[in-house]
Chain A
């Protein structure tokens, strides 16, 4: 048979590896800064773009999409060419994919700190960037499927199936979750409201973990672990079962993020059942990965690449055992909103994604540069300090999580809360935050050691060249089934059909879960007293979104005695019908705010937002001083915002929209009047007026500054229900 000569594109792999290393360092350093802020909350005092709320999404996005994303692409571009015995379909597409993805990352790194965010977790980027992501993702997909169609290997190895499922599912999830109506170039309102928005968001959020952080890395595991161990995967049959059952079951499990929420019970229960089932394929995959090393365990002692892989796969096993446990309602009641979840995600990210990436980099670089790794010793050091770092990070967070949960739920014999002041539960776990910071630092030190090792290896060895290869072309055979060919044999050589079948597998769960909630109106009971936000409150809500308050404060009271006692009546689905996006949150570093309205007076909020420690000693909330700046709040587009919401179904009348600015000023001046009841406020306000006059600055009255809108929104929270209760009395 005639052999065809061709070259594997190594240069694109090299680019993605470098991007992985660079953005890994950046993303993790931002994480470390955030960890430090738990101990020194005002370390970036007064700098809006370095505040906790704005940096948190930057950290999660950088680690998920920049670090893990680039690592995934590096591994896919390397392994896919070799598994298919073909160069990538198009060098131009490869490069558009690479540069496009890096531009998206840079756009995220600029817009998130500036406060442009949709506030939906792991989907924070605003609509123009969302569109760019969709386009670049399609470029990646065309390049991948094109390569598959040109392959010289009849059978598509299971890793390729995982890559295909990744492409298809992330596309579906990203598009449906990002649906929104733009107000202007960088602001939009979610196409879904309240409970529906939450369901779609966590269908996305859960499956982003599944199909961005898990399936592509499983594909990489099925390629790189056999390569590094130099033996085939333990059971190829098991890998087929692993693939189909994982993609089929994963997609159903999203609602386990919303247990005890205002989500309909049937959807919660469905999520639990499927989450528990998920342990089977996940552990099947983990066992398959680990047992691939049977007979070569002696190599694990000496070879850092295999060490990284073993801890990565073990981390996968731990995280996927913990996941189903966390989705059990009684466990979730303890873990949700606490630092336990932070521990859980970091075991997944640091061990599974991080260590698999490091192992892959240490394996790839010497091969691509045709030489040795500069230092095995440094790689071993990286392994040990990284492993210890994970442990010292995760364990204190577990302790912190249990401490929080048990303190939140503790009652005195007389029926009052033992720790009625939320702050007591915060100050108690500060030592855990210290330990977490130390563990995270160790992990980053390991990362820097890798950077050094990588740089020296690349310098000493040969420049990365495309690699020559040869293989016979695939013989043309009939597209229909051959004589004696089984169905799967046929399907597995038909990439388009396989892709379609994988799409069907993921859509079944998605449809069964989503459709009823979207279609059935009675799922979301309407409450007559719940009214749309006033223009000022709407602006305040957008400020709350801009500052990322949702990163630390939930707005969802679960039906527990301890929560009802602490925060007020449990959340009801009908209360959120005007919330676009929903702001339920997923973490309580601070208390829940669903019914905070009216609990404190306007002055308290004014002082608290300026200097949280002045009203709440020991608080780890940073001040939000820029909200008080001597400049007018930008409410120029309030009419456009209200019109957009009107189109989405919020019952604003045209009259209300026309009179929006007037209504805002009226409400704002009332708040200013309330503030003036405090003599201290009056004094400092007069002082700042004089100071402005002295400096020849234009003085903006308080009622026109951002803080007033923020107070208006906070004071509105949860008051609709109170109106009803008072009326009934």
Chain B
């Protein structure tokens, strides 16, 4: 897949970094998301999920 990318984009200098950047953005995004969700307390989660039932 990277070969295919490079072939089409070789006119951009330093294009090799392109897929690497994409992959890192992706990796960082999901690690951050997992951390984010993990740090909620149980009571907070319960409180938030009750919102629709309290109107």
Interface, chain A (partner B; CB < 8 A): 79, 82-83, 85, 153, 155, 157-159, 222-223, 226-227, 230-233, 236-237, 240-241, 244-245, 248, 264-266, 269, 273, 469, 486-489, 505, 508, 512, 516, 520-523
Interfacial residues of chain B within 7-55, with CB under 8 A of chain A in the complex: 7-12, 18, 22, 25, 29-30, 33-34, 36-37, 39-40, 44-53, 55
Q: Which residues of B contact A82 (CB under 8 A)?
A: 52, 55
Q: Closest CB-CB distance, A696 to chain B, in whole Å?
A: 64
Q: Which residues of A contact B37 (CB under 8 A)?
A: 237, 240-241
Nearest opposing residue in chain A for B34, CB measure: A241
List the 7 closest pairs (A to B, CB-CB), nearest first.
A82-B55, A266-B5, A236-B49, A232-B49, A265-B4, A264-B8, A157-B51
Contact B51 A266 (CB under 8 A): no
The distance in angstroms between the C-alpha atoms of A368 and B55, with both chains bound, is 14
Contact B12 A227 (CB under 8 A): no
The distance in angstroms between the C-alpha atoms of A505 and B55, with both chains bound, is 31
The distance in angstroms between the C-alpha atoms of A83 and B22, with both chains bound, is 36
Q: Which residues of B contact A469 (CB under 8 A)?
A: 55
Interface, chain B (partner A; CB < 8 A): 1, 4-5, 7-12, 18, 22, 25, 29-30, 33-34, 36-37, 39-40, 44-53, 55
Contact A520 B1 (CB under 8 A): no
The distance in angstroms between the C-alpha atoms of A222 and B48, with both chains bound, is 12
Contact A520 B39 (CB under 8 A): no
Q: Which residues of B contact A79 (CB under 8 A)?
A: 52
Q: Closest CB-CB distance, B26 to chain A, in whole Å?
A: 8
* Chain B interface helix/strand/loop/mixed: helix
Known: A520-B9, A523-B9. A155 touches B48 (CB 8 A): yes
Q: Which residues of B contact A520 (CB under 8 A)?
A: 8-9, 11-12
Nearest opposing residue in chain B for A160, CB measure: B51
Contact A85 B48 (CB under 8 A): no
Q: Which residues of B contact A153 (CB under 8 A)?
A: 51
Q: Which residues of B contact A266 (CB under 8 A)?
A: 1, 4-5, 7-9
Contact A85 B49 (CB under 8 A): no
**A-B residue pairs in contact (CB < 8 Å), sample of 21:** A79-B52, A83-B55, A157-B52, A226-B49, A232-B50, A237-B45, A241-B33, A241-B37, A245-B33, A265-B4, A265-B7, A469-B55, A486-B39, A488-B39, A508-B25, A512-B22, A516-B12, A520-B9, A520-B11, A521-B11, A523-B8
Q: Closest CB-CB distance, B18 to chain A, in whole Å?
A: 8
Nearest opposing residue in chain B for A248, CB measure: B29
Q: Which residues of A contact B18 (CB under 8 A)?
A: 516
The distance in angstroms between the C-alpha atoms of A487 and B36, with both chains bound, is 8
Known: A83-B55, A522-B11. A236 touches B48 (CB 8 A): yes
Q: Which residues of B contact A155 (CB under 8 A)?
A: 47-48, 51
